[in-house]
Structure 1
Amino acid sequence: MTRSDIAVDELVVRPATPLPRLIAAMFSSNVGALIALLTPLQLLLTLQTTRIAGTDAAAAFGLITGVGALFALVANPLAGRISDRTAARFGRRRTWILTGATGGSLAVFAIAFTTEIWQVAVIWCLTQSLFNFQQAATNALLADQVPSDRRGTVSGFIGLAGAVGPLVGIAAVSALTDPFLQWGIIATVSLVLGIVAVFVLRDPQHVPAADQAGLNLKQLLLSFWLNPRKHPAFGWAWLVRFLLTCAYASGTYNAFFLMDRFGVAPEDVGGSVLLLSLISVGLLAVTSVIAGPISDRVRRQKPFVIAAGVLAAAALTLQAFAPTIEVVYLAVGILGLGTGLFFSIDSAMCVRMLPSAENAGKDFAIINMANTLPQSFVPFIAPLLLGIGGFTALYVTLAVIGIIGALFVLRLPELGREGDPRWALITREPTTTATSV
């Protein structure tokens, strides 16, 4: 097989679940995990740190979310590598979806009992780790079981889950004031949705190839790395996702932004954040469920990603200089349109760049590190930018980062043009004979 032949060879999929059931399972699992991860990031951790740290809440929030993101960064690729090698009869992906949902739900509920910032940080790190195991196993199903001509459609539903999760979570807790009820509700809903996904999904037992090496320290360390020089298209796809996700991470600061610029009281900010989420999700839902199937039909992905980056930059610039809260609502709506466009296409685009079908879970988890790192990177740079120029400096910087990410997608080959030397090469290892029974 020549290098160009390998580059255009499609990942081999072995569908075990009918597509409607597979979409339902992946959507349910992702929504459950994201309720538990994004509802705290957008609201509950802000309230919890304010109760504990008072005026130092913003700094405490940055510390907690930054350290938690580092744990997620480690957990996601490890989970992908481990699930690739799992031979449990329950299934290599279902095993970790159930483990992550169960353990993560217990951990997130425990945050309600914290009385010190260090306690919140420790438990949040555990929560991030467990739910990232669930997400890594769930998203690997896109490579495992989804045919290449339907990945845009499924990718759209994955993107929709990213908005529905926090919306459901915020809607469930925004009218409540008791932290035990707030954390308990999101823990319960996350657990139920994870269990539903496990029962809907078919995940036959994986039988590793005879020559597949067992997991050792070297194999685990390799879970965090794919050489971008050896796999250039994979490297560019990773960078595009990282930069655009940094732009979308601006939503993490909505609660602080509303309280700081417009004087929204802490007891009222939940309702305002919920309204922002409703606007964002409503528009995101439109673009994510429409753009994915259109991309499959027209066999194009890059124009959608470029448009997503332009919309994100415009929205963040508008929010940076918003004179009224109504302008913020408009900016968040535009950002929702861009977010829906990007996440409806990005997963399908990234799957095309994966170097190996046998290690799809591990490789896709490395791609997912580009989702996780912004949760640490943005809180890391935010205090500096806020000190220099407040929220205006923060949002303008993220707008510039988003535009750069959109431009970098031009380095990737379009559908049907894989192997063309004008664009980064998609490398592909020959598929082994591993089977599932």
Structure 2
Amino acid sequence: MATPSLVTPAEKQPGGGTRMRRLAGAVMLSEFACTIALTTPVQLLLALHLDAVADTGAATAFGIVTGFGALVAILSSPVAGRISDRTRTRFGRRRPWMLLGSVAAALALVVIPFTTEVWQLVPLWCGVQLACTFQRAAGSALLAEQVAEERTGRMAGLIGLAAACGPLAGLALADVAPGGRAGTWAVVALCALGTTVVSVLLLRERLGDAPRPPLDLRALVASFWFDPRRHPAFTWAWLVRFLITCAYASSTYSTFFLMERFDTTTEELSGTVLLLGLLTISCVAVSCVAAGHLSDALRRQKPFIAFSGVLAAVALVLMAGAQDMAFVYGGVAVMGVSMGTFLSVDLAVCVRVLPDKDESARDLALFNVANALPDSLVPLAAPAVLALGGYTALFTGLAAFGLLGVLAGSRLPEVGHETRPGRWTVPVHRT
């Protein structure tokens, strides 16, 4: 039986109806599928494919491909949220987009290894990003709609754990998949699609009588904007996610870092990346679940954000000066603890400061922009930074973003103070 305190709030929401254990499994599987589809290519498969296709310009081509993909995710996130909020079908408003997004992403992933030019790869990777954006916009809204506020930290921790497990599972599949590189891409695509199907089957949605938000041109343009003066807590939470995610975007270049600084061969690369991924997930798993439970118990979130930002900076400094793989493993372990801690509270903070819970997908999609923007800016800026100071300059610069995230986090309202009169007042409705 689900806990009454968890079931009652869900039943008051238009999309409610899933028992908490089923809901936890569903949102974890959906996030797991998205991270397999997105992170496995970024951490390994795209680099290997571009190394064969682009030869000496692989690093620059990687920045172009991932940069354009992230730009698509940025531009489509608010629109995807708005469309999901407006959807009314017999299967609900979230489940159709989760399933359709996963199917489209899987199809694009299967085709990618057959490309022979960088220009062919760009639209396909943009398609993967677009499809996963729709899936994530729909899946993340379930947290606001069906989870009681006092349990959001624990649920966010579980979602963060799933997000961390996805890349590890993808790398493991890439290491053992048959059929060469085309077979590897196909296995990753099928795994992402299969877990999404299970997720959709676990979910229950009751549509209710909520009216459809408008979907005209003015509404779509408004989806990309919020007033920082009226929603300061929302603004600071957005900025925290953006800054600290910039620090985490360093993992985008981990494959090239290993190849160029440590002369890791392509034959050794899969095993090394998999081992680093295993270390990361071990640290993320422990810190994510522990910090989520502790955050809910203490009713505090800001100290965990500060802790994660400082640790991210420390990890990047270790990586920046690493001349031995021992320092790389140490930096990865510290970064794993940082990521687990941040993932356990970040989504809970975002849900807590939403201006309007009835349009949760749209507002959470704006947070997804903060998540996707570093994935666009870092790869686009990285080639110039690498040319000036190598990986030492790149990682040190990204460490500064982690510390700036700590400063931004100090301006967040703590749990229970969201509607306190004054600068932290969060209006219920927008104009």
Pairwise TM-score range, normalised by the shorter structure = over 0.9
CA contact (8 A) 1:42 1:251 kept: yes
Once the two structures are superposed, what CA deviation does each residue of 1:100-125 show, in whole Å capped at 9, x if it has no partner? 01111111111021111111111000
Structure 1 unmatched runs, 5+: 1-10, 431-437
Residue of structure 1 equivalent to 2:191: 189
SS in 1 for 2:54: helix
SS in 2 for 1:111: helix
Residue of structure 2 equivalent to 1:6: none
Once the two structures are superposed, what CA deviation does each residue of 1:75-111 show, in whole Å capped at 9, x if it has no partner? 2211111010101111100010011011111111110
Separation of aligned partners in 2, 1:227 and 1:109: 41
Residue of structure 1 equivalent to 2:204: 202
Q: Indicate whether 1:100 and 2:131 are aligned.
A: no
- Letter paired with 1:191: L
Separation of aligned partners in 1, 2:203 and 2:213: 28
Residue of structure 1 equivalent to 2:329: 329
Compared CA separation, residues 95 and 273, structure 1 to 2 (3 A) = same
Once structures 1 and 2 are overlaid, which stretch shifts more, 199-208 or 101-110? 199-208
- Letter paired with 2:192: S
Residue of structure 1 equivalent to 2:402: 402
Separation of aligned partners in 2, 1:239 and 1:174: 37
Residue of structure 1 equivalent to 2:36: 35
Separation of aligned partners in 1, 2:163 and 2:247: 15
Residue of structure 1 equivalent to 2:180: 178
TM-score, length-scaled by structure 2:
0.94
Structure 2 unmatched runs, 5+: 1-11
SS in 1 for 2:72: helix
CA contact (8 A) 2:237 2:412 kept: yes
CA contact (8 A) 2:241 2:370 kept: yes
CA contact (8 A) 1:85 1:208 kept: no
1:49-60 to 2 correspondences below 5 Å:
49-60=50-61
CA contact (8 A) 1:413 1:423 kept: no
CA contact (8 A) 1:86 1:206 kept: no
Separation of aligned partners in 1, 2:243 and 2:302: 15
- Please state how far the C-alpha of 1:299 moved relative to its aligned partner: 0.3
CA contact (8 A) 1:13 1:145 kept: no
Residue of structure 2 equivalent to 1:299: 299
- Letter paired with 2:102: A
Residue of structure 2 equivalent to 1:434: none
Question: Once superposed, what is the RMSD of the aligned Cα atoms?
Answer: 1.5
Compared CA separation, residues 74 and 371, structure 1 to 2 (3 A) = same
Residue of structure 2 equivalent to 1:8: none
Separation of aligned partners in 1, 2:213 and 2:40: 39
Q: Indicate whether 1:379 and 2:391 are aligned.
A: no
Residue of structure 2 equivalent to 1:433: none
SS in 2 for 1:323: coil
Separation of aligned partners in 2, 1:295 and 1:164: 21
Residue of structure 2 equivalent to 1:167: 168
Separation of aligned partners in 2, 1:238 and 1:255: 29
CA contact (8 A) 1:87 1:206 kept: no
Q: Indicate whether 1:25 and 2:26 are aligned.
A: yes
TM-score, length-scaled by structure 1:
0.93
Once structures 1 and 2 are overlaid, which stretch shifts more, 375-384 or 141-150? 375-384
Separation of aligned partners in 2, 1:258 and 1:84: 43
CA contact (8 A) 1:97 1:133 kept: yes
Once the two structures are superposed, what CA deviation does each residue of 1:230-282 show, in whole Å capped at 9, x if it has no partner? 21111110000000001011111111000111100122211111111110110
